[in-house]
Amino acid sequence: MKWWTKTAVIAIALVGMVGLALPQSSKADRSYRVRRGDNPARIAQRHHVSVGNLLAANRLSRGDRLREGQELVIPDRGVHYVQPGETLSEIARDHEVAASALARTNRIRQTASLRVGQRLVLPGHEAHRQREAAADRWGRPRRPGVADFLRVRSEEQVRIRLVDARGRTRRAAVRRLAPLMRSRTSGETRAPHRRLLSILARISDHFGGRTVYIISGFRSAGGFTRTTSKHTAGRAIDIRLRGVPNRELRDYARSIDRVGVGFYPRSSFVHVDVREQSAYWVDDSRPGQRPTYRARGPRTDQPAAASQAPTAGDETNSEPAAGAGTDTPAASEAASGAPPEAPVPPPGAEPTAPGGALRAPRPGSPSTD
> By C-alpha distance, which of 112, 89, 210, 87 is closest to 159?
210
Going by C-beta distance under 8 Å and a sequence separation of 6 or more, which residues neighbour residue 254?
261, 278, 280, 302, 303, 306, 310
Using a cut of 0.75, tell me whether the model's pTM lies above it.
Answer: no
Going by C-beta distance under 8 Å and a sequence separation of 6 or more, which residues neighbour residue 236?
196, 217, 229, 230, 260, 271, 272, 273, 274, 348, 350
pLDDT, residue 161, reads 96
> By C-alpha distance, which of 25, 36, 210, 223 is closest to 121?
25
Q: What is the 3-state secondary structure (H, E, C) of 182-208?
A: CCCCCCCCCCCCHHHHHHHHHHHHHCC
Residue 17: which H helix or E strand, with range? Answer: helix 3-21
Task: Report the 10 Å Cβ neighbour count for 166.
Answer: 16
Question: Hey, where are the domains in the chain?
Answer: 3-121, 128-335
Q: What are the pLDDT tens digits along the chain (369 aa)?
A: 555 555 554 444 444 443 333 334 444 578 899 999 999 999 999 988 899 999 999 999 888 999 999 999 999 878 999 999 999 999 999 888 889 989 988 989 999 999 999 999 888 776 666 777 888 889 989 999 999 999 999 999 999 999 998 888 999 999 999 999 999 889 999 999 999 999 999 999 999 999 999 999 999 888 878 888 899 999 999 999 999 999 999 999 998 888 999 999 988 899 999 998 889 999 988 877 888 888 654 333 344 333 333 333 333 223 333 333 333 323 322 322 323 333 345 555 665 555 444 444 444 445 444
pLDDT, residue 352, reads 53
d(CA 256, CA 247): 15
pLDDT, residue 319, reads 31
pLDDT, residue 296, reads 53
pLDDT, residue 48, reads 86
What's the distance, CA 355 to chain centroid? 27
pLDDT, residue 315, reads 32
Q: Which CATH architecture has domain 3-121?
A: Roll (3.10)
pLDDT, residue 221, reads 85
Q: Does residue 205 contact residue 141 with C-beta atoms inside 8 Å?
A: yes
> By C-alpha distance, which of 328, 350, 326, 361 is closest to 214?
361
pLDDT, residue 25, reads 41
d(CA 349, CA 329): 11
pLDDT, residue 329, reads 28
pLDDT, residue 272, reads 97
Widest CA span in the chain: 88
Interhelix angle 194-206/128-138, rounded to 10 degrees, is: 60
pLDDT, residue 325, reads 33
d(CA 50, CA 58): 13
d(CA 71, CA 198): 31
Task: Report the 10 Å Cβ neighbour count for 136.
Answer: 9
